């Protein structure tokens, strides 16, 4: 095994006696849990950046710090563009922010551990300890390698801090996608905002939207403003309309208008409806992404009708019963449990609870939130003066409203 800080002191020597100082190495980051080194880099006499494939390496003299190759003159000349595409150990990963997925923390790669295995040189671990810094300051001569500071590369993600330098295929291989969105969001709290934006860019869109939703308002805005407009629109389409509305409401009015104009009609209408209400009102904290159905349907017919509508909303604990889908006059509510267990031939109006506590959209948000908490229900419906169903205030929105501002980012999202 060898540390990168030590390896960068090695010389590349060919069979004709020509030699050059090793300046960097690249790895095939997506190929394995421990990615193999693919190329060695050096600067030629004409100050050209050159590379030699690892397959051309004949032997490594670890004791004398020599990498033996056939012919340095046959090396490939690299352009700035080709170098930018390579995943370089010294120029790219060293000093980068890394996510330690096992311990759920963010740290920095102060050095890298490599190991020769079956003719390949593999990236094994990131060294995050202070000894790595001493090792680098002394060009690899001093600085202990502590096992406690080594993090197996299998459980490490690294970030460059440039959302626009992301390669699209990388996100499909991120191990972090296996974590819940809330845990990913908490990991980003320890990252500079550009690194957090890069991570969002790497994640698959559904996971990215969920992660963006669970970020605190300030970090959410920082990250969103670094996304390119195409991805930002995709994520807005996937986000709960109440959170998307809150996010858009913090943008410049012209920017907000441009996004709304390019959203799908359905999502745009939901967001515009929510933007009508001030932040300090019940309408400002409600979500209108809910499920409702006409009361004259039988239980069996309602199940068939709701099969598709129930797939998308975050809040599906209650199904609200209305006069008709156009006027949405609220008549009652039925829980998903009752919808699944009630006899097929029964009508919704026979099973529903008609005695509902309701909120008004212009009611004070704090007052509405306390009424939700006092009800001990998952949510309370919001209706206007004509009893039209407008939305619901969920228990997590209520908790976020009354909790101290310092707790806001830690309040779990369950229903919205």
Whether 266 maps to a domain, the answer reads no
Does residue 117 share a domain with residue 86? no
Question: pLDDT tens-digit profile of 34-44?
Answer: 999 999 999 98
Q: What is the CATH number of the domain that holds 387?
A: 3.10.580.10
Question: pLDDT tens-digit profile of 132-165?
Answer: 888 888 766 677 788 888 999 999 888 888 887 6
* Domains: count for the chain: 3
Tokens, residue 398:
């209520």
DSSP 2-13: EEHHHHTT-EEE
Output the pLDDT for position 169: 47
> 402, 397, 394: which is closest to 370 by C-alpha?
402
Does residue 192 share a domain with residue 86? no
CB 186 within 8 A of CB 194: no
Output the pLDDT for position 414: 57
What Rg value do the Cα atoms of the chain yield, rounded?
A: 28
Does residue 118 share a domain with residue 16? no
Does residue 77 share a domain with residue 146? no
Q: What is the CATH number of the domain that holds 43?
A: 2.30.30
Output the pLDDT for position 367: 97
Output the pLDDT for position 388: 96
Question: pLDDT tens-digit profile of 107-124?
Answer: 899 999 999 999 999 999
For the chain, percent of residues with pLDDT exceeding 90: 64
Does residue 74 share a domain with residue 115? no
Residue 143 backbone zone (phi > 0: left; psi -120 to 50: alpha; other: beta)? left
Q: How far is CA 23 from the centre of its chain?
A: 33
Does residue 371 share a domain with residue 344? yes
Residue 50's domain spans which residues? 2-91
Does residue 189 share a domain with residue 162? yes
Place of tokens 């209108």: 288
What are the contacts of 79-86 at 24+ separation with CB within 8 A? 83/41, 83/49, 84/165, 85/167, 86/26, 86/39
Output the pLDDT for position 336: 92
Instruction: Give the three-class secondary structure for 359.
Output: strand
Does residue 195 share a domain with residue 100? yes
When pLDDT is averaged across residues 370-392 and rounded to a whole number, the result is: 95
In angstroms, how far is the first alpha carbon of the chain from the final one? 49
Whether 100 maps to a domain, the answer reads yes
pLDDT of 407 > 80? The answer is no
pLDDT of 31 > 80? The answer is no
Does residue 200 share a domain with residue 304? no
Domain final position from 205, 226, 247: 226
DSSP 169-227: GGGGG-GGGGS-HHHHHHHHTTS-HHHHHHHHHHS-HHHHHHHHHHS-HHHHHHHHTTS
Helices 265-275 and 253-262 cross at an angle (nearest 10°) of 150
| Integer Cα distance of 251 and 258 in angstroms | 11
Question: Is 385 or 30 the better-scoring residue by pLDDT?
Answer: 385
Whether 245 maps to a domain, the answer reads no
When pLDDT is averaged across residues 329-353 and rounded to a whole number, the result is: 94
Does residue 113 share a domain with residue 74? no
> 388, 187, 391, 377: which is closest to 286 by C-alpha?
391
Asked which of 43-57, 152-166, 314-328 is least confident by mean pLDDT, the reply is 152-166
Whether 415 maps to a domain, the answer reads no
For the chain, percent of residues with pLDDT exceeding 70: 94
Confidence of residue 309 (pLDDT cuts 50, 70, 90): confident
State the average pLDDT for the chain.
89
Whether 267 maps to a domain, the answer reads no
Whether 22 maps to a domain, the answer reads yes
Does residue 48 share a domain with residue 99? no
Whether 170 maps to a domain, the answer reads yes
Whether 238 maps to a domain, the answer reads no
Helix/strand/coil percentages in the chain, nearest 5: 40, 25, 35
Domain final position from 65, 91, 117: 91
Name 406's Cβ contacts closer than 8 Å, sequence gap at least 6: none
Does residue 126 share a domain with residue 30? no
Domain final position from 197, 226, 255: 226
pLDDT of 47 > 60? The answer is yes
| Integer Cα distance of 395 and 126 in angstroms | 42
Question: pLDDT tens-digit profile of 278-301?
Answer: 999 999 999 999 999 998 999 999
pTM of the model: 0.80
Output the pLDDT for position 396: 87
């Amino acid at each position: 095994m060898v540390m990168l800080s030590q390896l960068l002191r090695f010389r590349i020597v060919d069979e004709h006696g020509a030699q050059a100082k090793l300046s960097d190495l690249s790895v095939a980051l997506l190929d394995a849990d421990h990615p193999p080194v693919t190329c060695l880099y050096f600067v030629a006499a004409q100050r050209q950046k050159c590379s030699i494939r690892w397959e051309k390496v004949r032997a490594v003299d670890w004791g004398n710090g020599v990498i033996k190759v056939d012919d340095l003159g046959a090396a490939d000349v690299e352009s700035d563009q080709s170098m930018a595409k390579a995943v370089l150990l010294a120029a790219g990963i060293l000093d980068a922010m890394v996510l330690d997925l096992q311990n759920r923390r963010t740290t920095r790669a102060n050095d890298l551990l490599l190991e020769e295995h079956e003719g390949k040189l593999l990236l094994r671990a990131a060294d995050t300890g202070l000894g790595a810094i001493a090792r680098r300051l002394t060009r690899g001569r001093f600085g202990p390698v502590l096992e406690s500071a080594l993090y197996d590369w299998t459980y490490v993600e690294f970030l460059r801090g440039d959302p626009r330098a992301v390669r699209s295929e990388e996100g499909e291989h991120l191990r972090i996608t296996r974590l819940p969105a809330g845990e990913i969001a908490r990991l980003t709290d320890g990252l500079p905002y550009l690194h957090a934006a890069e991570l969002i860019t790497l994640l698959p869109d559904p996971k990215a939207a969920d992660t963006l939703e669970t970020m605190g308002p300030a970090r959410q805005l920082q990250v969103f403003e670094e996304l390119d407009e195409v991805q930002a629109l995709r994520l807005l389409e996937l986000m709960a309309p109440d959170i998307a509305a809150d996010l858009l409401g913090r943008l410049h009015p012209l920017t907000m208008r441009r996004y709304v104009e390019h959203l799908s009609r359905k999502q745009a209408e939901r967001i515009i409806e929510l933007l009508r209400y001030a932040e300090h009102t019940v309408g400002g904290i409600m979500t209108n992404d809910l499920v409702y159905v006409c009361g004259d349907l039988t239980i069996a017919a309602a199940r068939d009708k709701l099969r598709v509508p129930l797939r998308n909303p975050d809040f599906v604990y209650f199904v609200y019963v209305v006069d008709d889908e156009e006027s949405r006059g609220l008549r009652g509510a039925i829980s998903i449990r009752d919808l699944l267990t009630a006899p097929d031939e029964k009508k919704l109006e026979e099973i529903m609870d008609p005695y509902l506590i309701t909120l008004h959209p212009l009611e004070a948000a704090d007052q509405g939130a306390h009424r939700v908490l006092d009800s001990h229900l998952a949510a309370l419906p919001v209706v206007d003066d004509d009893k039209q169903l407008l939305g619901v205030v969920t228990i997590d929105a209520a908790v976020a409203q009354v909790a101290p501002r310092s707790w806001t980012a830690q309040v779990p999202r369950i229903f919205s």
